[in-house]
Structure 1
């Protein structure tokens, strides 16, 4: 764990600007594209593959599989990032993403489509790991780094709304059509080739001693990764369940306008939370975590206590704002203090924890709702758990101030 000054070639580094930030934020939207673009055409897919055995489970997996694959493969992407380099992996993954992402546009067999989605998840694991690592590498000053990590949440949240609308519009032409949007990664990759560079570290970075074997710093990150796993779960609870909560108040399931307004309000609150994080970057990210979990808890408990339409709107907005504050706070808390030589692997493991939490969300909420007799009660129990996490994290940070 000995630290030393960066090597001589790292003493003078290129300074990233707004253009590099835009490219990395655009790349960060690719996993969002993978998870939401085709949700509007799922009913068409279900109808098309109705005769395929197990299609009622396999068709939804077209959306769910990439998140699971990110959770599995992100650590391997982190290994490549630290040992081979950042830029090369990113460019290869962006071009490969266009190929495997558009494959269902001309595929007809469900197993082949599912396999292409597995490959999409592998590409997304690489893209998300590299983009996040490069944001920390390029914008090493705390204020600029936190600004772009906050904007990462804002951008991806707003992009999710745009991609859902785009998928719905293109779906009018048939379920194959939205898959062509994945080719946009090529449009982003070309300027990446020109404008991004392989970082060598910065004088302000922590570095390992020359020749030292650098391992994943499990001792300092394992608790943080567990918090991230839980945070990934709470982050996605209302993203997935808000529409069902609204329908539970008596709103017809085909009243997509009303359901969409509530979901959009919560999504906008998440984006605002990310923007606020970027504006309050002078605060230690770890100290924002109890506030973020507390806001999530307040919103979810409000839905439990007041399960009517107004209660769900207010609760979803409060929890959404907390989620927007939570995501960049967790990421900065875990990644920002790492050494340059281990940053890719730590970022990979962070992605694993977060996306595993995302993948487990519908499973855990389904089991919990069945056990307690209703979705609002289940959401409220998650809120109580988030409140407990807020207290635990707050107490833990007070005892280890150097870790914030």
Structure 2
């Protein structure tokens, strides 16, 4: 992103492409970035850690009315809550300050996340998962906002890409850990939520508020006319991004693959494609959203069309990598587009709006694919349709030639 993309100067002084701590004069660097990148992984922990133990949870509460409906909600509730509340978290970020909310949310995350270790009611466990979603909304909004506060230009784009790399690798690790720990007891994986406590301590030590919290009661309004396009596209982008994660195992099952080892290996290879795309984003971000967003949608879309038509494991692997590569470019490209023209006082709310759009898209994803599958003749056709729509989105964004993250 070029300096011209910022419509007004940042509130914190800059040393090159990094903000400087107003209290100590020290520039932001790897310690701050590492805390924020690792904390960003906690939302992924909530999404994938429990997937392997859902059948065990259902068995444990077999006598609970509506157990078949409530058990999947244990997994999906946090994502829905993030989608519904991240905008509120964004307003709190701009109002009370980034650091205070981040540290508090990390501490609360540990208590809400580990609560099912002691709860004997499925309804109470679902309620605790709603609280986890609230803390995740605050954590994700704070982390992304602080990355945008601390860094600018190419440095910011590189860290946005690394945020996707970290969360993608974390998803792969957490999925395996959830299965291994859940083999002993379905409650055991919940202990991992306590990892947020050392992160809270690290945030308290290394993270600093970029500028003093504004004491005025009136925040500057968001530029909704500028945000409408990137947020609307990000809503669809969230759906596209999640298709590979949700549906890959069903694609493999549909062509006769029954081995969980094979399914896991193909999923890991697809995740590797996502990590590569996100890692490379920093090198292509200078081209601007008019290029990066269409290219990302094009790769994801063509990959999904291929997955819908694939009839063998090698074909699935190839198109999973293509889709994953596009997904790795997609999130940081959309985020850079959305935040590129926002000022410091607007950035928390803008990040919250964008995060809400992404997570609502992710939550809707399996429902949309299921509806398409039933309406037009199977999963393969549904994936091809979603892929074709992604390609259409690529053409539409390119034709609109958005500005706001970089000039090219």
Range of TM-score over shorter length: over 0.9
Q: Call closer, same or farther: CA 1:118–1:18 in 2, change over 3 Å.
A: same
Residue aligning to 1:67: 79
Q: Tell me which of 165, 184, 200 is aligned to 1:189.
A: 200
Q: How far is the alpha carbon of 1:283 from its aligned partner?
A: 2.3
Matched residues in 2 for 1:308 and 1:49: separation? Answer: 38
Q: Tell me which of 81, 84, 88 is aligned to 2:96.
A: 84
Q: Call closer, same or farther: CA 1:104–1:211 in 2, change over 3 Å.
A: closer
Is the aligned partner of 1:229 residue 2:229?
no
Residue aligning to 1:33: 45
Q: Call closer, same or farther: CA 1:31–1:247 in 2, change over 3 Å.
A: same
Matched residues in 2 for 1:47 and 1:214: separation? Answer: 51
Q: Tell me which of 143, 146, 149 is aligned to 1:137.
A: 149
Residue aligning to 1:243: 249
Residue aligning to 2:332: 328
Is the aligned partner of 1:377 residue 2:381?
yes
Is the aligned partner of 1:121 residue 2:133?
yes
Please list every run of 5 or more consecutive structure 1 residues that lacks an aligned counterpart in the other structure. Answer: 202-207
Q: How far is the alpha carbon of 1:5 from its aligned partner?
A: 5.8
Q: Is the 8 A contact 2:290 2:403 kept in 1?
A: no
Q: Call closer, same or farther: CA 1:4–1:161 in 2, change over 3 Å.
A: closer
Matched residues in 1 for 2:311 and 2:10: separation? Answer: 56
Q: Is the 8 A contact 1:286 1:329 kept in 2?
A: no
Of the structure 1 ranges 143-152 and 41-50, higher mean CA displacement relative to structure 2 is found in 41-50
Matched residues in 2 for 1:152 and 1:368: separation? Answer: 31
How many residues were matched structurally?
389
Q: How far is the alpha carbon of 1:160 from its aligned partner?
A: 0.4
Q: How far is the alpha carbon of 1:403 from its aligned partner?
A: 6.3
Residue aligning to 1:311: 315
Residue aligning to 1:178: 189
**Structure 1 segments (4+ residues) deviating >4 Å:** 3-7, 9-12, 210-213, 400-404
Q: How far is the alpha carbon of 1:211 from its aligned partner?
A: 9.5
Q: Call closer, same or farther: CA 1:401–1:116 in 2, change over 3 Å.
A: closer
Matched residues in 2 for 1:152 and 1:380: separation? Answer: 29
Q: How far is the alpha carbon of 1:314 from its aligned partner?
A: 1.3
Q: How far is the alpha carbon of 1:304 from its aligned partner?
A: 2.7
Is the aligned partner of 1:13 residue 2:20?
yes
Q: How far is the alpha carbon of 1:278 from its aligned partner?
A: 2.2
The 3-state SS of whatever aligns with 2:350 is helix
Residue aligning to 2:60: 48
Q: Call closer, same or farther: CA 1:43–1:5 in 2, change over 3 Å.
A: closer
Residue aligning to 1:363: 367
Q: Call closer, same or farther: CA 1:359–1:211 in 2, change over 3 Å.
A: closer
Q: How far is the alpha carbon of 1:297 from its aligned partner?
A: 1.3
Residue aligning to 1:98: 110
The 3-state SS of whatever aligns with 2:286 is coil
Residue aligning to 1:154: 165
Matched residues in 2 for 1:279 and 1:184: separation? Answer: 32
Residue aligning to 1:299: 303
Matched residues in 2 for 1:30 and 1:211: separation? Answer: 32
Matched residues in 2 for 1:403 and 1:278: separation? Answer: 13
Residue aligning to 1:270: 274
Matched residues in 2 for 1:139 and 1:375: separation? Answer: 42
Matched residues in 2 for 1:6 and 1:233: separation? Answer: 32
Residue aligning to 2:4: none
Matched residues in 2 for 1:42 and 1:97: separation? Answer: 21
Q: How far is the alpha carbon of 1:166 from its aligned partner?
A: 0.9
Matched residues in 2 for 1:53 and 1:373: separation? Answer: 33
Residue aligning to 1:349: 353
Matched residues in 1 for 2:8 and 2:263: separation? Answer: 55
The 3-state SS of whatever aligns with 1:173 is coil
Q: Is the 8 A contact 1:136 1:336 kept in 2?
A: no
Q: How far is the alpha carbon of 1:108 from its aligned partner?
A: 1.3
Q: How far is the alpha carbon of 1:310 from its aligned partner?
A: 2.4
Q: What TM-score results when the alignment is normalised by the length of structure 1?
A: 0.93
Q: Is the 8 A contact 1:76 1:348 kept in 2?
A: yes
Please list every run of 5 or more consecutive structure 2 residues that lacks an aligned counterpart in the other structure. Answer: 1-6, 22-26
Matched residues in 1 for 2:70 and 2:331: separation? Answer: 30
Residue aligning to 1:111: 123
Give the CA RMSD over aligned residues. 1.9
Of the structure 1 ranges 40-49 and 114-123, higher mean CA displacement relative to structure 2 is found in 40-49
